[in-house]
Amino acid sequence: MDTLNAIHSRRAVKHFDPDHRLTAEDEDTLLRATIQAPTSFNIQHWRFVILRDPALRQTIRKEHGFDQAQITDASLLILFTADTKAWQKNPGRYWANAPKEVADLLVGWMGPFHEGREWLQRDEAQRSIGMAMQTLMLAAQDLGLDSCPMIGFDIDKVAELVNLPPDHVMGPLVAVGRSIKDPWPKPGQVPLSELVVENAFSAPGG
């Protein structure tokens, strides 16, 4: 499947085959594709919590996930989180394969760019999560799999269940598997004329 086709055909699937299993090879392919997503300074904030335990999934579904079937029925359920302090943690490793002068420059910028800007650290972590999620879902589409991004769960309770570290942020869940029911027709896209701004927004009253 080509990239444009994957983008246009991807849907948020709600009904997964509970008997379908991903091979270890497919899971590895998906995750290796996911970490090709870009991140600021190549920090790679993402931390992917693979939720395999059926009992844990059932708890999330029944107690904290509004009884959404995707949580238990998907072949693979990933909670996207990110380390907001990854920029502090051995940052040289993010540029280990770059020329020394490039690595020294970028690693040297990393601290001053993030220091004391907690809002930026959180924003960058969430941006990284978003790009990784989309990469995963398009990779799944290419493999003939279906996916569903999910924010319909109690973030605080699930954070407790997975022992989320205090310097990490929670992102959405992504369910991956094999659809057993056609999704609803696409509800419609807002026209580009409403979405594209040339150079700047109009001045108030303009």
pLDDT tens-digit series, residues 148-199:
999 999 999 999 999 999 999 999 999 999 999 988 888 999 999 999 999 9
Q: Tell me: domain 3-183, CATH 3.40.109.10, correct?
A: yes
Question: What is the percentage of the chain residues whose pLDDT exceeds 70?
Answer: 99
Instruction: Characterise 111 by phi-psi region: left (phi > 0), alpha (psi -120 to 50), beta (else).
Output: alpha
- Write out pLDDT tens, residues 15-46: 999 999 999 999 999 999 999 999 999 999 99
Indicate the average pLDDT of the chain. 96
- Write out pLDDT tens, residues 49-88: 999 999 999 999 999 999 999 999 999 999 999 999 999 9
What residues does each domain of the chain span? 3-183
pLDDT of 121: 98
Could you tell me which residues come within 8 angstroms of residue 10 by beta carbon, excluding any fewer than 6 positions away? 137, 138, 141, 147
Q: Closest by alpha carbon to 149, among 165, 168, 132?
A: 132
Given CA atoms 27, 139, 154, 127 in this order, what sign does their dihedral have? positive
DSSP 184: P
Q: The pTM is what?
A: 0.95
Q: Closest by alpha carbon to 45, among 104, 103, 106, 127?
A: 127
**pLDDT at 206 exceeding the cut of 80:** no
DSSP 49: E
- How sure is the predictor about 204, in pLDDT bands with cuts at 50, 70 and 90? confident
Could you tell me which residues come within 8 angstroms of residue 133 by beta carbon, excluding any fewer than 6 positions away? 80, 149, 171, 172, 174
pLDDT of 191: 97
pLDDT of 205: 78
pLDDT of 201: 95
Q: Counting every residue, how long is the chain?
A: 206
